[in-house]
Structure 1
Amino acid sequence: MAYKLVIKPEVYTDIQSGIDWYNSKQEGLGRRFFEAIEKEYAVLKKAPAFQVRYDDVHCLPVKKFPYMIHFIVEEDAKVVVVLGVINTYLNPNKWKERK
């Protein structure tokens, strides 16, 4: 059974910031960044059993980009709650304010 993906509003800001930054470096790179995140979301819907990094928060690296998707799994409800898409070069505790 597939998991439902719930994305916190702050995540959209994380993603848009990344898109803007990548587009400022190379035209179209922001789109590739967004597509990479979408691919990881599809993985999370199928099998969210990734490493727990902090308390009950799991992390999934975004392929080809220095970002981690931070999420929790509500196993009983079959729900994955995305807390943040965080640049690994920035403060990794940024997501903690969102729990």
Structure 2
Amino acid sequence: MAVNNFKIQILSRAKLEVDEAANYYESESKELGKLFYLEFKSYRKTLESIPFFEEKYETIRTLPLKKFPYTIHFKVDESKKIVFILALTSNYQDPNTTRIK
């Protein structure tokens, strides 16, 4: 079975959200921010080969992290083979206040 390698593009807002979450965890416990970032990086790598997770909001798909209460929100452009990471949201965040549009 051939691996479909998709290019990953992370919106600047999503990068900021990843940094904010990593900084929060690092402030809670030494090395925890690094563990958060490594898990996010692992899931980003998964999206390079398997981006077809749950479609939640019309064309926006979601992928929850396993060890941390966050979800990656993304779109897939199949023809260009690009995954656009739009946001990283806390699972405790009120879905009515999310910045995803």
Report the TM-score, using the length of structure 2 for normalisation.
0.90
Q: Is the 8 A contact 1:70 1:95 kept in 2?
A: no
Structure 1: stretches of 5+ with no match in the other structure? none
Q: Is the 8 A contact 2:77 2:83 kept in 1?
A: yes
The residue type equivalent to 1:21 in the other structure is Y
Seq. identity, %: 30
The residue type equivalent to 1:15 in the other structure is V
The 4+ residue runs of structure 1 with deviation greater than 4 A are none
**Structure 2 residue aligned with 1:45, among 43, 48, 54?**
48
Q: Deviations over 1:77-98 (max 9, x none)?
A: 111000011111113352424x
Mapped pair 1:76 → 2:79? yes
User: Where do residues 3-82 of structure 1 align in structure 2 (5 Å cutoff)?
Assistant: 3-82=6-85
CA drift at 1:25: 1.1
SS in 1 for 2:73: strand
Mapped pair 1:96 → 2:96? no
Report the TM-score, using the length of structure 1 for normalisation.
0.92
Q: Is the 8 A contact 2:87 2:100 kept in 1?
A: no
SS in 2 for 1:96: coil
Structure 2: stretches of 5+ with no match in the other structure? none
